[in-house]
Each structure stands twice: as structure tokens, then as C-alpha cells.
């Protein structure tokens, strides 16, 4: 129902003026993103060393930018309604998908909370993401909004109810197929099982880099890892930047290697990395083998804007203190597929869980299990940790893979290939969670075709814009000339 008010407004003659349609979409975006990203200001003032006014300005700037995408979708649909009547409302799902795809890729991309992610707990409908991805699922949600709006503003008689009936059949068919897919549960018994331990250290952000607490934090992670291994875990995940030192440079890292050699377990840890000659810092993850050797390293590719770097830094230099609190990181340039005897897995560090293309590429390259390590302490007790977790769950549906997620303050969880939570920890508690995941083969349709559906939406949106402009020109040329025009005398 989310887009129904906008669609009804766009159906009114006065709203089909391009500027007004754009402003209506922009207003929709302001409501959407202000309500979704309300926590940004507190994060930047509490942890980013920004004044309240500056933090509000930075947050508002991001919200205004994100609101441009709904504005452009409304602009295209408004032009279509102006040229072809209310039936052009049915283009909104395609225009909306195109906007979300653009939001994911333009500049550095910020695809936080796409419309389709609202269905992650509606398990039968969420399965559509395995076919068309979360952007395609956004189009399905928008389609439901159009059907509701059509009942209010569509033409009278059969022409009003027939399209709505078609949409109802489509949605019912998708839900039926999704329910059957989940009930069959083929992915729950396939592949090779492995016991995974998730270590949630619950280190407060203010304590994370306190040298006086470093030994205590490190000892906590080692003890919790032993506990996980005693409970049967053969692969133990630590959260993002869990070590209070750089793993490759600190002699204390030998304790991690020793733990792996003593227990025969594999440890997957988050730790920062530096190239001193180039003065480059990386947010990295290391796989420690039972021999104590490093079995692979991954460097985070998608950095957090205003958290790990400042986009357009020369223009937005006033936000520099925010990045100085966590360091200016350099993005990695490739995915890493980690090899175990049971199978291959990939990882996403923190914010990377919101980018479908990363997990899709990883599966294409042979990843049989998704993992995610993150530090969500920044978010406090807002809804942001739950938003972040919900988006990570959608990656499981899209790729047909289990997800093992270790978060510093929660939510640490195991998610099955249908997006359902198998087990999860509470927020802001020390916790060790051990459960079974499976290394799976096979691919979903989305992994094979990628973002074909939102690309089609982009093509149709551009086509509608072009046709509506052409239709308006024809309409203007066919209208009778105004009184006093010499052509009027000639025609009479």
C-alpha cells in the first residue's frame, strides 16, 4: 500500500504537470527516507564527533539525494499520465525498479531498505527474489500499490476491475509457488553440513580501540571461541574488526594461530590491515587454517559513506571529522572465495550485505555459503541493526544459500536459503551461537540472469518518457489555433 497516496495524486490532472509530479515523488522520498534513516543523526553526533547542526545537515543532504529517485519515477509516470491517461500508472513498478537500481549504483551506491525488502518476513512472496532479485520484488510490491490505486482512480466498469483481477492472480500464483518452494525444503537437506560458531563479543564502540581494554577484549574473544569449538563448531566467525590490533603486525596474533592448531578448527576473523609503503588501510577478513597459516584474505570493497570515507570529499570537507574517528579506508578490488575441505564460502563485511551483486558474483564464482561479519554497535538500539539484518537475509533468498552472520553487538544469526531465521542472538549481549549450515551447489534464476528485470524497467521508463514527450508535441500541433491566429481565418 506504500505508493497508493502518490499514485492517486499523480492521477489528478493538476499533478500531471512535470514539475508537480516531480515534487510529489520528492515528497514521497522525504517521508520514505526520513522515516527509515532517522538514526543517522545520532550515529554521527555520538560516534562521528560532529556537532548536532552539522550532523543534521549531512543526514538531510543524504535524504534529499535519495529522494531524487522516487521523484524521477513520479516524473516519468506523471508525464505518461499527462500524455496517455491514468493507464500510465501501470508503469510505476518499472519506473520504481529503475530508480532503485540507479540508487544502488550511482556515485558509490546506497541501496538501504529497498521497497522489496519489506517482504522479507512474508516468506512465500519473498521467494520471488530468487527469480528477479530484490529490485524485481520491489516492482511486485509497487504493482500491488497500483492495483489498489486503480480501484480508486481507474475508469468505471469492467476496465477498472479486470486489471486488478489479473494482478491478484499474479500475486496469488507467486505466493503459491513460494509457499511450495519453502514447503518442499530441498535446500535444507542438500549439500555438505558444517557446524559454525558465531562469536558476539558485545564490545561497546567507545571501548573498541581503548588500549587499556585491549587485552581483556582479546581474551574474551579467545575464550568464547574455545566455548564454540567445545560445542562442536569447526568454523568460528568473529565480527568485523574484532581484534584490537592489526592481525598481521601484532605478536599477540599468535594466540589465534595457536588456538587453531590446538583445536583443529578454522577461525574467520575481522581485522584491519595496512600497506605502510602506500599508506593504505583496509577493512579486512582473515581465514586461519588448522595449521595456523592464513588461508585467504578479503578486503572490503564497498565502504560506508560518511563512515569509512567521505564521498565527494572536496565538496563535503565539513564532514571530515566523521571519517577521522574510524580512519580513511581504501576499498578492496576483488572478491575472495575461501576454500575449506567441506566447500567454498564468501563473505561480506558490514554494509556490503546490502549489495545484491556482491553475493551474486560470489555464488557465480563458486561460493556455496554466504557469511557476513559486521559491527553494528554504531546503530545503538534503533531499528537500524534490524534493517541491516533484514537486508542480509534477502541475499540468502536471492542466491539460495545459507547465511552465517557474526555481529559485534548483534544480530548474530544463521539464516536458511529461504530467508528464514534459524537462530539469532539478542542485541547488546555477549553470546556464543553454534548451529549447522550447509555448503550448497546449484543456482537460482536471479544468479543466472542478474538484474535483467530492473534494466527492463529502465528501458521502459526511458521509452515512456520519450513517447509522452512525442505525444504532447502531437497534441499541441493538433489543437486548434488560438483566436486571432491567421490560420484560424484561413481554415474558416
DSSP strand E in 336-458: where? Answer: 338-339, 344-349, 370-374, 403-407, 413-415, 421-424, 431-439
Question: Residue 311: pLDDT band by 50, 70, 90 thresholds?
Answer: low
pLDDT tens track for 18-61: 899 999 999 999 999 999 999 999 888 887 777 889 889 989 99
Q: Report residue 200 as a C-alpha cell.
A: 558476539
Q: State what percent of residues in the chain have pLDDT above 90.
A: 76
Tens of pLDDT, residues 358-391: 999 999 999 999 999 999 998 989 999 999 999 9
Candidates 342, 350, 352, 398; catalytic one:
350
Compute the C-alpha angle 419/423/426, nearest 5°: 110
Distance CA 49, CA 44 (A): 7
Render pLDDT for 411-450 as a digit per residue (tens, 0 to 9). 999 999 999 999 999 999 999 999 999 999 999 999 999 9
The answer to whether position 27 is within a domain reads: yes
Closest CA to 365 of 336, 396, 400: 336
DSSP 160-180: HHHHHHHHHHHHHHHHHHHHH
> Does 485 score more than 50 pLDDT?
no
Phi, psi of 10 (to 5 degrees): -70, -20
The pLDDT value recorded for residue 470 is 66
Same domain assignment for residues 168 and 235: no
More confident residue, 17 or 38: 38
Give domain status of residue 492, yes or no: no
| The predicted structure's pLDDT at residue 131 | 97
- The answer to whether residue 368 sits within a structural domain is yes
Residue 151 belongs to some domain of the structure: yes
Residue 71 sits in which domain range?
Answer: 4-185+451-475
Residue with cell 469492467: 158
Rg (CA), the chain: 26
Asked whether residue 47 falls in the same domain as residue 99, the answer is: yes
Is the separation of the CB atoms in 282 and 291 below 8 Å?
no
Instruction: Tell whether 489 is covered by a domain.
Output: no
Asked whether residue 480 is domain-assigned, the answer is no
Please report whether residue 339 resides in a domain.
Answer: yes
DSSP lists the bridge partners of residue 223 as none
229 exposure class (CB count in 10 Å sphere: 0-12, 13-18, 19+): buried
pTM equals 0.91
* CA 206 to chain CA centroid, nearest Å: 27
Q: Quote the pLDDT of residue 448.
A: 97
Tell me what pLDDT residue 322 has.
55
Residue 481: how many other CB atoms lie within 10 Å = 12
The CATH number that applies at residue 271 is 3.60.110.10
254 tagged catalytic: no
Looking at 240, 308, 352, 398, which residue is catalytic?
240
| Residues 72 and 218 occupy one common structural domain | no
**Do both 112 and 221 map to the same domain?**
no
Indicate the DSSP class of residue 21.
H
**pLDDT-based confidence at 87, cuts 50/70/90?**
very high
- What pLDDT does residue 490 have? 37
- Span 187-206, average pLDDT: 96
Task: Compute the mean pLDDT over every residue in the chain, rounded to the nearest whole number.
Answer: 91
CA nearest neighbour of 199 among 438, 412, 402: 412
Domain identity same for 22 and 62: yes
Q: Assess whether 199 and 321 both reside in one domain.
A: yes
118 and 258 housed in the same domain: no
Confidence at residue 233, expressed as pLDDT on a 0 to 100 scale: 98
Which residues on neighbouring strands pair with residue 404, listed in sequence order? 371, 414
How confident is residue 487, by pLDDT bands cut at 50, 70 and 90?
very low
* 261 vs 415: CA distance, rounded Å: 29
343 and 210 share one domain: yes
211 pLDDT band, cuts 50/70/90, is: confident
Cis peptide before 411 (omega within 30 of 0): yes
311 close to 331: Cβ distance less than 8 angstroms: no
208 counts as catalytic: no
Closest CA to 4 of 103, 145, 120, 107: 145
9 lies in some domain: yes
Tell me, what's the pLDDT at 472?
Answer: 57
Query: pLDDT tens digits for 316-368?
Result: 555 556 555 545 789 999 999 999 999 999 999 999 999 999 999 999 999 99
* Region for 195 from its dihedrals, namely left if φ exceeds 0, alpha if ψ lies in -120 to 50, beta otherwise: beta
Cell of 481: 489555433
Q: Which residues contact 440 (CB under 8 A, 6 or more apart)?
A: 187, 190, 191, 368, 369, 400, 401, 402, 417
pLDDT computed for residue 107 by the predictor? 84
Look at residue 492 in the predicted model and tell me its pLDDT. Answer: 32
Q: Domain check: are 306 and 233 in the same one?
A: yes
E strand residue ranges, 300-455: 338-339, 344-349, 370-374, 403-407, 413-415, 421-424, 431-439
Domains in the chain: how many in total? 2
**341: how many CB neighbours lie within 10 A of its CB?**
9
The per-residue pLDDT for range 60-86, each reduced to its tens digit, is: 999 999 999 999 999 999 999 998 999
118 and 29 in one domain?
yes
Q: Which residues pair with 407 in a beta bridge?
A: 374
pLDDT of residue 310: 67
What does the alpha-carbon distance between residue 13 and residue 144 come to, in Å, rounded to a whole number? Answer: 23
| Set 300, 308, 342, 398: catalytic member | 300
pLDDT value, residue 104:
94
CA atoms of 128 and 345, how far apart (whole Å): 24
Do 261 and 307 belong together in one domain? yes
Beta pairing partners, 436? 195
The pLDDT of residue 473 is above 50? yes
Q: Are residues 341 and 456 both part of a single domain?
A: no
275 is catalytic: no
Phi, psi of 125 (to 5 degrees): -70, -35
Q: Which three cell numbers stand for residue 106?
A: 550511482
Amino acid at each position: 500500500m506504500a505508493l497508493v497516496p502518490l499514485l492517486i495524486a499523480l492521477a489528478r490532472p493538476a499533478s500531471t504537470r512535470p514539475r508537480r509530479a516531480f515534487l510529489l515523488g520528492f515528497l514521497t522520498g522525504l517521508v520514505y527516507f526520513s522515516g527509515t534513516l532517522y538514526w543517522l543523526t545520532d550515529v554521527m553526533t555520538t560516534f562521528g564527533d560532529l556537532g548536532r547542526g552539522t550532523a543534521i545537515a549531512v543526514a538531510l543532504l543524504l535524504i534529499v539525494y535519495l529522494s531524487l529517485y522516487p521523484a524521477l519515477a513520479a516524473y516519468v509516470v506523471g508525464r505518461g499520465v499527462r500524455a496517455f491517461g491514468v493507464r500510465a500508472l501501470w508503469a510505476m513498478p518499472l519506473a520504481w525498479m529503475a530508480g532503485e537500481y540507479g540508487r544502488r549504483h550511482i556515485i558509490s551506491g546506497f541501496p538501504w531498505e529497498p521497497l522489496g525488502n519489506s517482504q522479507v518476513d512474508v516468506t512465500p512472496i519473498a521467494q520471488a527474489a530468487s527469480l528477479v532479485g530484490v529490485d524485481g520484488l520491489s516492482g511486485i510490491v509497487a504493482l500491488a500499490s497500483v492495483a489498489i490505486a486503480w480501484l480508486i482512480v481507474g475508469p468505471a466498469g469492467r476496465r477498472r476491475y479486470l486489471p486488478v483481477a489479473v494482478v491478484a492472480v499474479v500475486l496469488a500464483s507467486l505466493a503459491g509457488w513460494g509457499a511450495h518452494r519453502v514447503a518442499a525444503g530441498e535446500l535444507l537437506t542438500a549439500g555438505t553440513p558444517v557446524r559454525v560458531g558465531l562469536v558476539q563479543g558485545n564490545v561497546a564502540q567507545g571501548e573498541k580501540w581503548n588500549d587499556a581494554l585491549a587485552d581483556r577484549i582479546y581474551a574474551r574473544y579467545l575464550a568464547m571461541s574455545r566455548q564454540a569449538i567445545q560445542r562442536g563448531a569447526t568454523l568460528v566467525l568473529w565480527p568485523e574488526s574484532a581484534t584490537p590490533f592489526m592481525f598481521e603486525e601484532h605478536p599477540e596474533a599468535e594466540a589465534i594461530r595457536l588456538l587453531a592448531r590446538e583445536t583443529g578448527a578454522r577461525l574467520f576473523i575481522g581485522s584491519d590491515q595496512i600497506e605502510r609503503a602506500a599508506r593504505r588501510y583496509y577493512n579486512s577478513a582473515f581465514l586461519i587454517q588448522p595449521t595456523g597459516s592464513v588461508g585467504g584474505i578479503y578486503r572490503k570493497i564497498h565502504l560506508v559513506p560518511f563512515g569509512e570515507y567521505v564521498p565527494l570529499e572536496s565538496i563535503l570537507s565539513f564532514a571530515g571529522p566523521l571519517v577521522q574517528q574510524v580512519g580513511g579506508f581504501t576499498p578492496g578490488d576483488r572478491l575472495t572465495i575461501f576454500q575449506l575441505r567441506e566447500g567454498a564460502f564468501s563473505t561480506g563485511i558490514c554494509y556490503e550485505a546490502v549489495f545484491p551483486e556482491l553475493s551474486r558474483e560470489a555464488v557465480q564464482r563458486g561460493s556455496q555459503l554466504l557469511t557476513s561479519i559486521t559491527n553494528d554497535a554504531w546503530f545503538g538500539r534503533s531499528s537500524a541493526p534490524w534493517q541491516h539484518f533484514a537486508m542480509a537475509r534477502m541475499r540468502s533468498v536471492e542466491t539460495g544459500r545459507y547465511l552465517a552472520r557474526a555481529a559485534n553487538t548483534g544480530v548474530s544469526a544463521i539464516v536458511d536459503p529461504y530467508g528464514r531465521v534459524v537462530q539469532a542472538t539478542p542485541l547488546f549481549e555477549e553470546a556464543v551461537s553454534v548451529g549447522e549450515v550447509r555448503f550448497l551447489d546449484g543456482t537460482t534464476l536471479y544468479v543466472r540472469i542478474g538484474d535483467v528485470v530492473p534494466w527492463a524497467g529502465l528501458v521502459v521508463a526511458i521509452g515512456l518518457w520519450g513517447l509522452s514527450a512525442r505525444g504532447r508535441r502531437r497534441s499541441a500541433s493538433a489543437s486548434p489555433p488560438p483566436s486571432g491566429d491567421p490560420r484560424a481565418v484561413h481554415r474558416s
